[in-house]
Amino acid sequence: MALVLLRRLLQAVVTVAVVITLVFLIFSVIPGDYVSSLMAEKRSLDPAVAERIAAELHLNDPVPLRLGQYLVGILHGDLGLSFATQQPVTEMLGGRIWASFKLACAAMACAIVTGLPLGYIAAARQNRWIDGLAMVFAVSGLSVPGFWFGLLLMYVFSLQLGWLPTFGYGQGGIEHLILPALTLGIAPMALLARTTRAAVLETKTADFIRTARSKGMSEGRLVRKHLARNAFMLILTMIGLQFGSMMGGSVVIESLFAWPGVGSLLIQSVGLRDIPVVQGCILVIVLFFLIVNTLVDVAYLLIDPRIRYK
């Protein structure tokens, strides 16, 4: 177990370094910078002022020098100052990570609570009408753009029924969380339903299931002891991947619902070319993905003794 974690940690360090360097280089070479974003505010900016801002923010320094300074800063836990607000990036992110994490957890919970039973029922009633219905539902969930689905939910639950607030964070209560969580959770739910169905169907026809059934094992015990446990490995992988990518995938949904997470900060910062904040957001998204997937690896070890023995 310790070896697995150590290997994961090393991989994470390399991944983070590569991603951060790439993002830094991309934003350094594409045209436009923070000063040009100021000039794009539909107001003319005095060239002397623009020059002063660029010098103050070291935008004219050589790229290798800026990258080196940034990487050294990261090693010291310093993500720099936002160009736009002059606030420490760590401070700006700190206020937003919890909101994004809460939204990701709620969306994943929605996906698991609906996707798993749906997939299992579809597999249990293979080729019957309920299987077809469940899969139509799943495919629709995958095909529907999250943005459009969010607007649809707003229209139904806020505008027509008046049950839930349209957008915003409120006091952090559940009523503000429901619509964005459902919107963000729809695609993972559909994917989980399909994965669960496939995993259960594959496991159902395995030799050990046939053997257990022929030995007279009850259906409930068969599902609990053999079918669910074996099928769950594939499902767990899917949950890990989906959950890990939710922090980054919530960018559009957070903007739509005025949700104060990392995603909406990222969108704003890209528009402003506020590179330190963009880097900080991407770092959080990458780290979240790596942590979740490391936890999934640990879960493999706990669930499946065969992996431990290997």
Partner 1 sequence: MKHGKIGTALRAGAMVAALLAGTAVWAETPLPGGTLHLSAPFGAALKSLDPHMTWRSQDMAVSKAFHRSLYTWDTETNAPALDLASSVEVGPDGLTYTYKLYDTVYFHNGRKMTADDIIWSFTRIMDPQKGFPGSSLIQTIEGADDYAAGKADHISGLRKIDDQTLQIKMKNFTDPGMLFFDGVTSILPKEEVEKPGFITHPVGLGPYVFVEHIAGSRVVGKKFDKYFKPGKPYADRVEFTISGDDSALDMAFRAGELDATVISGSAYALYKQDPQLSKGLVEVAELFTAHMGMNLADPPFDDEKVRQAINYAIDRDLIIQKLLKDKAFKATGWLPRTSIAFDAARTPYPYDVEKAKALMAASKYPDGAEIEVWARDGTNGIGVVQAITPYLKAIGLTVKPKVVEAGMLSDAMSAGSAQAWIYSAGTGPDPIAALRCFDSRTTRAGCNYGGFSDPAFDAMLDKAAGELDAQKRIELTKQADGYIFDKAPVWFHNNNKAVVATQPWVHGIGGNVTEAAILEVDSIWLDADAPGRK
List interacting residues with partner 1 (CB under 8 A): 30-33, 36-50, 52-53, 56, 84-87, 92, 95-96, 151, 154-155, 158-159, 162, 165-169, 254-261, 264-265, 267-268, 271-273
CB-based burial, 147-180: b 16+ in 10 Å, e otherwise: eebbeebbeebeeeeeebbebebeeeeeebbbbb
* Torsion angle in degrees (nearest 10) through CA of 147, 149, 153, 154: 20
Query: Nearer Cβ to partner 1, position 120 or 257?
Result: 257
Query: Nearer Cβ to partner 1, position 52 or 210?
Result: 52
Query: What span, in angstroms and rounded, lies between the C-alpha atoms of 274 and 79?
Result: 12
Given a contact cutoff of 8 angstroms between Cβ atoms, the answer to whether 12 and 290 are in contact is: yes
Report, in Å, the least distance between residue 190 CB and partner 1.
23
Query: Nearer Cβ to partner 1, position 148 or 208?
Result: 148
Report, in Å, the least distance between residue 47 CB and partner 1.
4
CA torsion sign for 157, 163, 166, 168 is negative
Q: Tokens 């957890």 correspond to what residue?
A: 105
Query: Nearer Cβ to partner 1, position 88 or 117?
Result: 88
Query: Nearer Cβ to partner 1, position 231 or 278?
Result: 278
* Cα–Cα distance list, 265 to 92, 124, 159, 179, 230 (Å): 9, 44, 27, 20, 40
Residue 3 CA from chain centroid, whole number: 27
Report, in Å, the least distance between residue 178 CB and partner 1.
15
Report, in Å, the least distance between residue 270 CB and partner 1.
9
Query: Nearer Cβ to partner 1, position 44 or 205?
Result: 44
Nearest 5°: the CA angle 255, 147, 269 is 30
Report, in Å, the least distance between residue 97 CB and partner 1.
12
Report, in Å, the least distance between residue 107 CB and partner 1.
17
